[in-house]
Structures are given as C-alpha cells and as structure tokens.
Copies of this chain bind each other. A is one copy, B any other.
Amino acid sequence: MSKENKYCYDYPRPSLTVDCVVFGFDGLSIKVLLINRGVEPFKGKWALPGGFVRMEESIDEAAARELKEETSIHSIFLEQLYTFGAPERDPRGRVVSVAYFALINLHHFNAMAGDDAQKAQWFSLQDFPPLAFDHAEILRMAVYRLKGKIRYQPIGFELLPEKFTLVQLQNLYEAVLEMPLDKRNFRRKMLSTGLLIELNEKDMRSTRKKAQLYQFNQEKFNELSKKGFNFEI
C-alpha cells in the first residue's frame, strides 16, 4: 500500500483514473479536444484524454501529466470537475474517474502541441462522434459547468490570446452561452469590472477598421477577490 504501512487495510479497491475535458475557442465556436484510442477497450473510438493515477502523485498532478503525455498541453487552466464512479462505467472492471476541466486558447495550443499530437483532434460541441466509456456524460457536465462558471468567474480569458478585442470577447461569451448578447451592454458591463487593461495597440489582423486591444488584469482580479469582489457578467 505504501512505505508507511502501519494501518494497512487490504480491501479490494477500484482503480483510479483522471479524464480531462479540454475546451478551446477558434473565434467562432467552442471545441473539445478528443483522443482516438489506440488500445482496447473502445480501440478506435474517441475519448477524453486521461489515464491512471500513480501512487506518488496527487490527482491534480495526474491530470496535468496525462494531459501533457497525450496532447503535449501543459501549464493551462485545469480544475477538478466531478468524480464518476458508477460500477459498470468501464468494461475493464471497477474504475473510478476524477474528471477535470481545462481551458486553452488555440494559438497557445498550436504553439505547444504542433504536429506532436496526431491522435488528438478538436470537435465542435454541436457535432462530435460517439465517445468511449461514460465520456459523453462527463462532457455534458463540463459544458454545463463552463456555461455556469463563465458568468461569475473570469475564466473566459483563458480561451483567448493574451491580447484580444472586445468583439472577440463577446463572440466567446456568445459561443459559450449559446445566446446573442447586446454589444453596447456587453461592453459597458465588461469594462465596468475594471479588469481589462486597455493596451496602446490596435488589432493589426483586421483588414478593416482596427480594433482596440485589451488584456486581462490578473493582479487586479486577485486583489479585488480578497476584498470579496464578485465578477458577474
């Protein structure tokens, strides 16, 4: 059981895995990253990146490690979602899985993963293949969490490049919430949080009018959070 085995109870026990729901945003819609399984069970099927938790690592560490091993993704927003433990969820036997919820911006992903992760592919949330195990249920819960959380935590910025325009930010919110938002009201509300740094630059990618660039003010958010400030959009 462990080096310090004073009170060992050797009950039969479930295996423990982690599974990561990684969301990305391409400017138009939210995508989820799936892996084509190379081994049985569900060989050839699409699944969430994940794997077994090792004895010496925390489950947070296991999630980060598996994500890196399977997709080359590292150093991104990653938090625990929910633990799935129905007895028959895995045909290999009793496997309990701690699901994680991750956000990445696709430019960051392309830089990091490159052609490294051939088995990984982004899928639209409106149109994705059948998933292995109970991963469809995990994905459903992750989408629900994302929709809920983006309204009261400034996590949307994790899905955008460091410098972004208000139009990009609004497109992101509209994609996540699956509803149109009023441009003027959205801008007023977002700017009134005081969490956007207005940069001395314009967005050079546009072929039309250049948009103002902003950056998320993480320090200010941390500071305000301590004082009980609540982000709400």
Q: Is B98 a contact partner of A86 (Cβ separation < 8 A)?
A: no
Closest residue on chain B to residue A16 by CB atoms: B14
**CB-CB < 8 A to A96: which residues of B?**
16, 53, 59, 98
Residue in B closest to A7 when the chains form the complex, CB atoms? B92
Specify which of A5, A52, A87 lies most central, judged by the most chain B CB atoms within 10 Å of its CB: A87
Contact with B along A78-92 (1 / 0, CB 8 A): 001011011100011
Q: How far is the CB of A94 from chain B (nearest CB, A)?
A: 5
The residue among A2, A41, A56, A86 with the most chain B CB atoms within 10 A of its own CB is A2
Q: In terms of DSSP, what is the predominant structure of the interface of chain A? A: loop
Q: Cβ of A59 and Cβ of B40 under 8 Å apart?
A: no
Q: Chain B residues near A137 (CB, 8 Å)?
A: none
User: Is A5 in contact with B93, judged by CB distance below 8 angstroms?
Assistant: yes
State whether A52 touches B98 (Cβ < 8 A).
no
Which A67-114 residues have C-beta < 8 A from chain B? 80, 82-83, 85-87, 91-94, 96, 98
Which B-chain residue is minimally distant from A12 (CB atoms)?
B55
Given contacts A13-B13, A15-B9, contact A2 B94 (CB under 8 A): yes
| Cβ contact within 8 Å between A98 and B85 | yes
Q: Which B residues lie within 8 Å of A94 (CB)?
A: 1-2, 55
Chain B residues whose C-beta falls within 8 Å of the C-beta of A1 in the assembled complex: 15, 92-94
Q: Could you jot down 9 A-B contacts, CB within 8 Å?
A: A4-B92, A7-B92, A11-B15, A13-B16, A13-B53, A16-B16, A59-B85, A80-B82, A96-B98
- Which residue numbers of A lie inside 8 Å of B, CB to CB? 1-9, 11-16, 39-41, 52-60, 80, 82-83, 85-87, 91-94, 96, 98
User: Which 8 A-B residue pairings sit nearest by Cβ, starting from the closest?
Assistant: A2-B93, A59-B85, A1-B93, A7-B92, A83-B83, A12-B55, A83-B98, A13-B15
